[in-house]
Structure 1
Amino acid sequence: MDGQQNEQNAAGGTTPAGRRRWPLRRGAVPPGWRGPLRMAGVTVAVLAVTLAGVVLGVLGGGRVDTDIGPFQATLTLSPDTDGGTRVDIPPLGALLLDSHDGPTRLTVRLGALDQTRTEALIDDPASIQRASVSAVEDVRSGVMRLGLRTVACAVLATLLLAALVFRNVRRTAVAGGLALAVTAGSLGTAAATLRPQAIEEPRYEGLLVNAPAIVGDARRIANDYTRYAEQLERLVGNVSKLYTTVSGLPVFEPAPDTTRVLHVSDMHLNPTGWQLIRTVVEQFDIDVVIDTGDITDWGSEPEASYVGSIGLLRKPYVYIRGNHDSARTAAAVARQPNAIVLNNSTTTVAGLTIAGIGDPRFTPDKNTSPAGSGLTPQVADQVIGTGEQLAETIRRSPRPVDIALVHDPASAGPLSGTCPLVLAGHTHARQVSKLPQQPGQPTTQLMVEGSTGGAGLRGLEGEEPTPLSMSVLYFDKDKLLQAYDDITVGGTGEAQVNLERHVIRDPKAGDQVPVTPTPTRGGPVSPAPNGSPTATPSPTG
């Protein structure tokens, strides 16, 4: 009997005392556990809704547009386990800074340049220092607005999501409070672990891997530039005085029908170059300006505003693309009202027929021709092929071509005998020579210009700044070169302007200058014995 009673008890009937026991089903929860489990479930649900609301709010609202110096920038906050700051400089790449800890990452994306403020920087070098000071305040103000906006958006998104899920005022309020605590705590952690010195040790992505001076040496370059700009303000004013003295010499007196051409090259974004060009254009009564390329450094969209100074010259501006200029750069130049962009084409300006072709390469990373090396066979064929294309265009021209333009003097070889004069740049070193000629061919003179921009800011990295150089060419009524003035500003780090006048004794044969060896197809190109820049391109070109 006892065994039978026990079986009944085991089956869930009654206890030995006669009380009924709760029937247990497989998987059932005892009544005493239901309350805690229900509370735990609600807690997990509130936490999940809170985190989802915070993430949605941060992704949807954690963004502000602001001005940083001349740039239009976008600041963005996003969830991230490692924290830090990312500065995007499209299309050049990004800087990665280990600026803070915490679950938030700050992204600063630099966009277009404001035209008005950019022109102010170009026209007034002193404003660069003022802009650098205001940029710090711009960033601080933008980050504060971004933080407040992110907190507000995260809390609002969480409240809306919780109201939809729970339909309960208390749980919605708890979720909103948690969202405020999570967001504010994350931003507080970032602020508490802020490391301002992280900007001194950035990591690079994209093309910026090859330009550490963007942050590392920028402070020293900026200091040098301020001193250098002060010198150039005095030096540019001396050009007119020098010209007055030199032009009065009986060595060469330009005739009334003389055509004056200003040859510039390799500006590399130096705003001071425009000041010098404007002064020379006015004082030398220039008829046309010829630019043989590398007006920018990276060919990016923000740099395109730099070419806006072309329109201020109010003289025809003939341009070919250099290896640092992108198709976007050439398009920006073409939009200037007085600019003419040549790409395997010809034009007639001020009575001169000019043919030109852009460089076949786009190499803003500066690693295509390292120091001390020559052109590889593949690149040599490419560069020489450009000269051959232009030579064929010149032969088909209905009018005799007076001047041919190439960026790299290594392209000049095939142009021998096709025209009297070839202008080039690229090497940042001035050179005048004759191209090798076949029997019966007319003489072709090659004139390689230095850097009118002093190699840009990189020209200030050395002990002495790279001088700014340009040349004024004088053509007679028959469009033959009669004389040229070499103008050098700076040089050897001293406050000086040099102007050297060269008179060509026999315009048909060219000046008495050495013959320049030129690269040929089918093999590597080594430096010429006389150090000719046509054989080895400059690593900074």
Structure 2
Amino acid sequence: MDGQQNEQPRRGQDGGTPEGRQRGFPSLRRAGAGSRAATRRRGVRRAAVTVAVLVVTLAGVLLGLLAGGQVGTDIGPFRAELSVEPAVGGSTTVDIPPLGSLLLDSHDGPTHLTVELGALDQGRTEALLGDPAGLNRATQSAVDDVRIGVLRLGLRTLGSVVLATLVLALLVFRDTRRAAWAGALAFMITAGSLGTAAATMRPQAIEEPRYEGLLVNAPAIVGDVRKIADDYTRYAEQLQRLIGNVTQLYTTVSALPVYEPEPGTTRVLHISDLHLNPTAWQLIRTVTEQFGIDVVIDTGDITDWGSEPEASYVGSISLLEKPYVYIRGNHDSGRTAAAVARQPNAIVLDNTTVTVAGLTIAGIGDPRFTPDKSTSPATGGLNQPTADELISTGDKLAATIRSSPRPVDIALVHDPAAAGPLSGTCPLVLAGHTHDRQINTLPEVPGQQPTTLMVQGSTGGAGLRGLEGEEPTPLAMTVLYFDQEKRLQAYDDITVGGTGQSQVNLERTVITPPATTTPLGATPTPTITPTPTPTR
């Protein structure tokens, strides 16, 4: 009995009795609740890690795109920048600074491709001009250039995205397994997006672009562009023959007894309105070397739009290895003038004076920046506000000349409409802008010296504008001869025929000394006309 009595409480304590089992349930319930809480915590933790991996992956993709989602490539004679970025719908933008953009519905998927055309590569452009078949080959290879560039862009973007994601994940998680998951996920996202774009590419989209900026007017000028392309091909075929004839012309003119420059003569080459024509530099270099030029004077419009990509065009100035005095034209921006000023032999005048090779030169830039302005006679004359602005510019330069400690020999303005106030301040004013060579005397001021205004034609043949009309604009420049007293003694007007006109002309004008009563006279030299080149 005692043993049984003692045994029952022990079984009760061990949970053997109903009362003992009832007292043990709270422990079981607590154990079950702890297990469920642990399971929930593990689930929340896994979800948090998954979200963290996804966030890090997306951040790595964005960083990779910023770091490596662009590539430079050559498309024909252009240097282009290709870049890719996330987008809601797939499309392509072709930026042509500063003209505007072409928007193409080129593909599907969450990627946007941007193609920004930069400056023309001068070496490749000159090579094209020297090779009649080069333009055709460049056109045919442009599509291949774009395809290769896009492929390089895709591979570079993929590698950059994966690398950026791996590095970021290792820094955040300090766990190689999670970093590997993030890298794999970044690879799948990027490859899937690029693959979708490639699989849905629509080459015919180039035929239906939308335009922005100045290119809005592009459809209306397609016909002119095609005509320009045809003329430009003919122009390239004749270029080498034309430039070679300048040497022949110099040899002939130097032997003429009409005017023999004396020792101490200063030779100045006046150029203007190059308008981005790469041909002009070859002609300028040839004349500079053959005629022994001491100073080159440029009266503006060296570019067409004054944009940053065009700034590389002025790099040829340093190749002349002669002082280069420049004023800004209405097609040249402040960045254009800055690019010229960076050339080691260039001097930019803006209501300032400089003495070069013994000549004191004053100049002022055009007050306007109107890159879309045409110089065609069809545009009519100046409106009154513009005329007043130009005259005010001439007044400023006239005041600068009068306050100069040294007498000014030559004044420079871009538009001849600004030359009026300069009458009597100096003997010679040089200008450009009109693309039409002219020479006349400004209205005389009583008691002041007469002033001659010489307006240059376009040394660049008016750029592409010169190929729009029935008669192409010739390349024009003038060699001015100054004696030891810095008086103009003679000048040679050089004209290189435009497209379809394979001839080089030079006319020498000798100025009668002022001591005689003979008025200003001109003695033309024979015109040198080479054998015509057949054109197509």
* Aligned twin of 1:516: none
Q: In the alignment, which of 48, 70, 86 is matched to residue 64 of structure 1?
A: 70
Classify 1:73/1:251 alpha carbon distance in 2 versus 1 (closer, same or farther; 3 Å).
Answer: closer
Give matches, 1:449-468, under 5 Å: 449-468=456-475
CA separation in 1, counterparts of 2:361 and 2:325?
Answer: 9
> Aligned-pair distance for 1:239?
1.4
TM-score (norm 2): 0.75
Q: In the alignment, which of 122, 125, 132 is matched to residue 129 of structure 2?
A: 125
**8 A Cα contact 2:509 2:521, kept in partner:** no
CA separation in 2, counterparts of 1:154 and 1:402?
Answer: 63
The amino acid across from 2:319 in the alignment is L
> Aligned-pair distance for 1:276?
0.7
Which runs of 5 or more structure 2 residues have no equivalent in the other structure?
1-42, 523-536
TM-score (norm 1): 0.74
CA separation in 1, counterparts of 2:219 and 2:421?
Answer: 38
CA separation in 1, counterparts of 2:124 and 2:154?
Answer: 31
Correspondence 1:353 to 2:360: yes
Correspondence 1:225 to 2:232: yes
* Aligned twin of 1:104: 111
> Aligned-pair distance for 1:56?
4.4
Which is helix-richer, 1 or 2?
Answer: 2
**8 A Cα contact 1:470 1:486, kept in partner:** yes
> Aligned-pair distance for 1:238?
0.9
Correspondence 1:75 to 2:82: yes
CA separation in 2, counterparts of 1:462 and 1:99?
Answer: 36
* Aligned twin of 2:321: 314
* Aligned twin of 2:273: 266
CA separation in 2, counterparts of 1:216 and 1:183?
Answer: 42
The amino acid across from 2:259 in the alignment is F
Correspondence 1:477 to 2:484: yes
Which runs of 5 or more structure 1 residues have no equivalent in the other structure?
1-38, 514-541
CA separation in 2, counterparts of 1:59 and 1:216?
Answer: 43
The amino acid across from 1:67 in the alignment is T
CA separation in 1, counterparts of 2:236 and 2:500?
Answer: 12
Alpha-carbon deviations, 1:322-353, whole Å to 9, x = none? Answer: 11112222122222222211111111122211
CA separation in 1, counterparts of 2:278 and 2:302?
Answer: 11
CA separation in 1, counterparts of 2:415 and 2:56?
Answer: 58
Give matches, 1:135-146, under 5 Å: 136-146=143-153
* Aligned twin of 2:264: 257
Classify 1:202/1:215 alpha carbon distance in 2 versus 1 (closer, same or farther; 3 Å).
Answer: farther
* Aligned twin of 1:511: 520
* Aligned twin of 1:366: 373
> Aligned-pair distance for 1:439?
2.8
CA separation in 2, counterparts of 1:215 and 1:64?
Answer: 31
CA separation in 2, counterparts of 1:257 and 1:245?
Answer: 22
* Aligned twin of 1:85: 92
Classify 1:288/1:209 alpha carbon distance in 2 versus 1 (closer, same or farther; 3 Å).
Answer: farther
> Aligned-pair distance for 1:471?
0.7
Q: What do you get for the CA RMSD once the two structures are aligned?
A: 4.1
Number of aligned pairs? 470
**8 A Cα contact 2:232 2:499, kept in partner:** no
Q: In the alignment, which of 235, 246, 252 is matched to residue 239 of structure 1?
A: 246
* Aligned twin of 2:23: none
Classify 1:335/1:119 alpha carbon distance in 2 versus 1 (closer, same or farther; 3 Å).
Answer: farther
* Aligned twin of 2:382: 375
CA separation in 2, counterparts of 1:54 and 1:460?
Answer: 55
Alpha-carbon deviations, 1:363-416, whole Å to 9, x = none? Answer: 223379994232222222221111110000111111111110000111101001
> Aligned-pair distance for 1:421?
0.8
Look up the SS of the partner of 1:315 in the other structure.
coil
CA separation in 1, counterparts of 2:341 and 2:164?
Answer: 49
Classify 1:229/1:74 alpha carbon distance in 2 versus 1 (closer, same or farther; 3 Å).
Answer: closer
**8 A Cα contact 2:375 2:435, kept in partner:** no
> Aligned-pair distance for 1:111?
5.7
CA separation in 1, counterparts of 2:159 and 2:127?
Answer: 42
CA separation in 2, counterparts of 1:434 and 1:155?
Answer: 72
Classify 1:347/1:507 alpha carbon distance in 2 versus 1 (closer, same or farther; 3 Å).
Answer: farther
* Aligned twin of 1:397: 404
Q: In the alignment, which of 310, 334, 339 is matched to residue 341 of structure 2?
A: 334
Look up the SS of the partner of 1:260 in the other structure.
strand
The amino acid across from 2:416 in the alignment is P
**8 A Cα contact 2:234 2:500, kept in partner:** no
CA separation in 2, counterparts of 1:72 and 1:136?
Answer: 14
* Aligned twin of 1:282: 289
CA separation in 2, counterparts of 1:178 and 1:244?
Answer: 73
> Aligned-pair distance for 1:242?
1.9
> Aligned-pair distance for 1:499?
0.9
CA separation in 2, counterparts of 1:51 and 1:90?
Answer: 38
* Aligned twin of 2:28: none
Stretch of structure 1 that moved more, 401-410 or 371-380: 371-380
CA separation in 2, counterparts of 1:343 and 1:383?
Answer: 14
**8 A Cα contact 1:235 1:489, kept in partner:** yes
Look up the SS of the partner of 1:441 in the other structure.
coil
**8 A Cα contact 1:53 1:157, kept in partner:** no
**8 A Cα contact 2:234 2:499, kept in partner:** no
Look up the SS of the partner of 2:445 in the other structure.
coil
Higher-Rg structure is: 2
Identity of aligned residues (%): 71
CA separation in 1, counterparts of 2:256 and 2:156?
Answer: 70
Look up the SS of the partner of 1:360 in the other structure.
coil
The amino acid across from 1:382 in the alignment is E
Alpha-carbon deviations, 1:200-252, whole Å to 9, x = none? Answer: 55434345557779998667645533431231211111112223323433433
Classify 1:372/1:111 alpha carbon distance in 2 versus 1 (closer, same or farther; 3 Å).
Answer: closer
Alpha-carbon deviations, 1:469-503, whole Å to 9, x = none? Answer: 10111222322222211111014721111111222
Classify 1:231/1:156 alpha carbon distance in 2 versus 1 (closer, same or farther; 3 Å).
Answer: closer
> Aligned-pair distance for 1:285?
1.6
Classify 1:331/1:244 alpha carbon distance in 2 versus 1 (closer, same or farther; 3 Å).
Answer: same
Classify 1:120/1:72 alpha carbon distance in 2 versus 1 (closer, same or farther; 3 Å).
Answer: closer
Look up the SS of the partner of 2:94 in the other structure.
strand
CA separation in 1, counterparts of 2:433 and 2:239?
Answer: 23
Look up the SS of the partner of 1:362 in the other structure.
coil
**8 A Cα contact 1:259 1:474, kept in partner:** yes
**8 A Cα contact 1:369 1:375, kept in partner:** no
Classify 1:97/1:365 alpha carbon distance in 2 versus 1 (closer, same or farther; 3 Å).
Answer: farther
* Aligned twin of 2:33: none
> Aligned-pair distance for 1:124?
6.5
> Aligned-pair distance for 1:447?
0.7
> Aligned-pair distance for 1:190?
2.8
CA separation in 2, counterparts of 1:143 and 1:51?
Answer: 28
Classify 1:505/1:384 alpha carbon distance in 2 versus 1 (closer, same or farther; 3 Å).
Answer: same
The amino acid across from 1:511 in the alignment is L
Stretch of structure 1 that moved more, 241-250 or 278-287: 241-250
